[in-house]
Amino acid sequence: MHITAKVDYAVRTLLEIARAPQLNPAALGPVVQAAPVVKADAIATAQRIPPKVLETVLGDLRRADLVISRRGPDGGYWLARPAGEISVADVIRAIEGPLASVRGERPEDVTYSGAAESLQRVWIALRVNIRAVLENVSIDDVAGNRLPEFVDALTNDPGAWARRERPLN
C-alpha cells in the first residue's frame, strides 16, 4: 500500500487539531462545545506542511465532514466529531478514495479467468487486512499515543521492520 504525501499531511493535520489545548469557543457560537480550535498557520508550522498544500488538504477534510472551519480572528479549524470517532481509514477515504483498488476498480468488481481466476480473492483479502488496521486505529489513539494492542503485536514482529528489496533483473 502506498501512503501519499497528501494522506500523510491529512492525518497529521487531524492529529494537530486533536492535540490542541481546549479553548473557550464562546466566540464561535453554540455549534462548538469546548473544541480545540487551531489556525492553519499553526498546523503548517508544527507539522512542516507547505501552506498551499495544507489549504487543499483542509478543504478535502472539510468536504468530507472531518473538520469544521470558521473564518476571522476567532476562527480556525476543529474536528467535526470526536477524535475517537475518526479512523485513519476515514481520512484515507476522504483524501484518496477507497482503501484498496485494482486498476481503479473496487476488488469485488474485477474478474479474472484461467490461471488468474482466484486473484480477486487475494485482492479482497488484502482489503480486509488493510481495513482491520486502519478502521480500528483512531485519530485519538494516535494523538494520545495509545495505539490498540494489536498494532503493538504486529509491530513487535521483527519481520515487520525488515525491508524487502525488489529483486534484481
- Give the dihedral sign, CA 34/35/41/47: positive
**Predicted local confidence at residue 35, as pLDDT:** 64
Decide if domain 5-156 falls under CATH 3.30.470.30.
Answer: no
Tell me the helices (H) and strands (E) count for the chain, helix number first.
Answer: 7, 2
pLDDT of 28 strictly over 60 = no
- What pLDDT digit, counting tens, does each position of 60-100 carry? 999 999 999 988 888 899 999 999 999 999 999 999 999 99
pTM score, whole prediction: 0.85
What the block records as the C-alpha cell of 53 is 498544500
- Alpha carbons 21 and 17: distance in angstroms, whole number: 9
pLDDT category of residue 32 using cuts at 50, 70 and 90: very low
CB 120 within 8 A of CB 107: yes
DSSP string, 81-100: S-GGG-BHHHHHHHHHS-S-
- State CA 131 to chain mean position distance: 12
Question: Is the predicted pLDDT of residue 165 greater than 90, yes or no?
Answer: no
Q: Tell me the mean pLDDT in the region 157-161.
A: 90
**Residue among 101, 91, 113 nearest 16 (CA):** 91
Between the alpha carbon of residue 57 and those of residues 94, 108, 152, the distances in Å are: 10, 29, 29
| pLDDT score for 27 | 47
